[in-house]
Amino acid sequence: MVMAEATVMATFTATTVGTVRSRYEQPTGLFINNEFIASASGKTFVVENPATEEKICDVYEAAEADVDAAVNAAEEAFKSWSAVDPSIRGRCLLKLADLIEENLELLASIESSDNGKPLKLSRIDVGLVANVLRNYGGWADKIFGSVIDTGDTHFSYTKREPLGVCGQIIPWNFPLLMWSWKIGPAVATGNTIVLKTAESTPLSALVASSFVKQAGFPPGVINIVSGYGATGQHISNHMKIKKIAFTGSTATGRHIMRAAATSNLKKVTLELGGKSPNIIFDDADVEKAVEWANTAIYFNSGEVCCAGSRIYVQEKIYDEVLAAFKKRAEQNVLGNPFHEDTFQGPQTSKLQFDRIMSFIEEGKREGATVITGGTRYGDKGYFINPTIFADVTEDMNIVKEEIFGPVVTISKFKTVEEVINLANDSQYGLAAGIHTTNINKAHHVANKLKAGTIWINTYNDFHHQVPFGGFNQSGIGREMGAEALDNYTQVKAIRIAIGKDE
Ligand code: NAD
């Protein structure tokens, strides 16, 4: 890792990223008013590569004064951004999507260095980022109100108006993708934003933000700050922020709701944790179901909020599925994210690695059987072998709590009704998987499951036009699709008396 002296602008540091480009300019400042600036205090924090445990660079940390500066910039920009011809907002998003795509290899390699995900997955993420921005670019001039017939004495109509400055706080598992899910619907509808990246993965969003000015966004529309939970708290407590959108843990989601309640009752949408059931019926295509079960839990090192982390297999095929799944899990290639055949990179941070390892130890102590994995992989980088626990009971913590790593439990069930009850017995309700060749059963079970997304004979299968969000304690509101636009608009009703003018 080469660390160069800071360039003329003190807020840029040159670093190496993977194998794609040996050097590039990494913005390390706060992005406010279309410029990268140092934090007022000059305080920075270290960003690390989780595959090598080496430092990549230092990034400026936003304190309360910096959040205030970003909010003021966004508040000023809102005046004109909310009033402009919406097609101009659309054009900026479309241009930003093009710029992201033109820089796909660079952004993907930054993501892999910072987050640890395999380069081939990062490339997919960056492609999805462009899709999301383009989709919301297309929506910008298609936000309609309605005319309501209330009789001939009045003319009644509604408008959908933006909210104002929106605070957005994102996690570290899909850093750039979450940036796009948040930015797209917010700015398409005329809001301005102050977005905080996660402390362990701030780099890709900073580089992507360097294209914002070129895409034509006026200063202050998109503002990005780096920092820890304290920075997030300044955003969620801020009296000028009208809405907060958060993705992350359920525990932090509670803090954010509390902060919204005790400050200015800002609107809140939350995309939180999950403990999603993945059900394999005895009429399923076993080979395909096992492949999807593998993707469901081990994709992105298991750091996926909707990971299929509780597998339920109908008893007739349980032994067959368990043997095939163990074999499949052991074939997953772990290692350097920049090797083209790597399927699973490291966990994104030491903190997350330690959390997962302590869940694994707890599972062993609770008496579950480790079918495979349960150990660290290698001795450098935060890698964990794909882990399967069998002989579990529903009251075990490894069955109830979100682990957010490559760890899955597998259990047996007899009947359809039994597995519906098992699947729904959770504080969460983000997603669920069903594997069956019986279409009636698929629909029946899909109707009964309490989750925001149901995947049938597939898993982790997102599309930017399809809404995503949680039941129960998995969240409030939906992202992607037309539904996300509702989070960022408020309805104004206008009623005009039109009685005869005599
Ligand atoms: P977290 O919820 O604490 O962090 C997510 C984001 O919230 C980060 O940007 C963080 O800086 C910010 N944040 C933290 N405390 C805050 C506060 N009090 N106010 C405002 N913002 C705050 O998640 P974590 O500690 O990084 O991970 C903990 C667990 O959360 C993981 O083990 C996993 O189970 C879960 N998680 C879920 C998702 C998801 O997509 N649902 C994403 C990341 C983590």
Give the pLDDT band (50/70/90) at residue 25.
confident
In a domain, 411, yes or no: yes
What are the CA-CA distances from residue 232 to residues 30, 70, 171, 319 (Å)?
14, 13, 11, 47
In a domain, 468, yes or no: no
The number of domains in the chain is 2
Residue 208 sits in the same domain as residue 336: no
User: What pLDDT is recorded for position 334?
Assistant: 98
Residue 281 sits in the same domain as residue 342: yes
Q: Is the pLDDT of residue 275 over 80?
A: yes
In a domain, 469, yes or no: no
CATH code of the domain containing 347: 3.40.309.10
In a domain, 494, yes or no: no
Residue 54 sits in the same domain as residue 186: yes
Residue 357 sits in the same domain as residue 266: no
Q: For residues 334 and 337, give the distance between their C-alpha atoms in angstroms, rounded to a whole number.
A: 8
Residue 454 corresponds to which tokens in the numbers above?
Answer: 């149901």
The reply to whether ligand 1 has any atom less than 6 angstroms from the CB of 236 is yes
Q: Is the pLDDT of residue 318 over 80?
A: yes
Q: For residues 377 and 116, give the distance between their C-alpha atoms in angstroms, rounded to a whole number.
A: 14
In a domain, 500, yes or no: no
Whole domain around residue 159: which residue ranges? 9-272+478-489
Residue 451 sits in the same domain as residue 483: no
% of the chain beyond a pLDDT of 90: 94
How many residues comprise the chain? Answer: 502
CA of 197 to the centre of ligand 1 (A): 10
Residue 267 sits in the same domain as residue 361: no
Q: Where does 8-118 show beta strands of DSSP type E?
A: 12-17, 21-27, 30-32, 35-37, 44-49, 54-60
8-17, 308-317, 321-330, 389-398: least confident range = 8-17
pLDDT digits (tens, 9 = 90+) for 225-245: 999 999 999 999 999 999 999
Question: Which positions are catalytic?
Answer: 271
In a domain, 391, yes or no: yes
- Please compute the mean of the pLDDT values over residues 419-425 and round it to a whole number: 98
Tell me which residue has tokens 């800071």: 6
pTM over 0.75: yes
The reply to whether ligand 1 has any atom less than 6 angstroms from the CB of 196 is yes
Residue 260 sits in the same domain as residue 377: no
Residue 53 sits in the same domain as residue 187: yes
pLDDT digits (tens, 9 = 90+) for 393-417: 999 999 999 999 999 999 999 999 9
Residue 14 sits in the same domain as residue 44: yes
In a domain, 497, yes or no: no
Q: Please list the residues that pair with 55 across neighbouring strands.
A: 48
In a domain, 472, yes or no: no
The reply to whether ligand 1 has any atom less than 6 angstroms from the CB of 249 is yes
Atom 14 of ligand 1: nearest residue by CA position: 229
Residue 414 sits in the same domain as residue 485: no
What are the CA-CA distances from residue 97 to residues 31, 50, 184, 215, 257 (Å)?
19, 28, 10, 9, 32
CATH code of the domain containing 215: 3.40.605.10
Please name which of 329, 63, 310 lies closest in space to residue 196, comparing C-alpha atoms: 63
Residue 358 sits in the same domain as residue 252: no
What are the CA-CA distances from residue 331 to residues 201, 319, 369, 383 (Å)?
28, 19, 20, 15
Atom 29 of ligand 1: nearest residue by CA position: 249
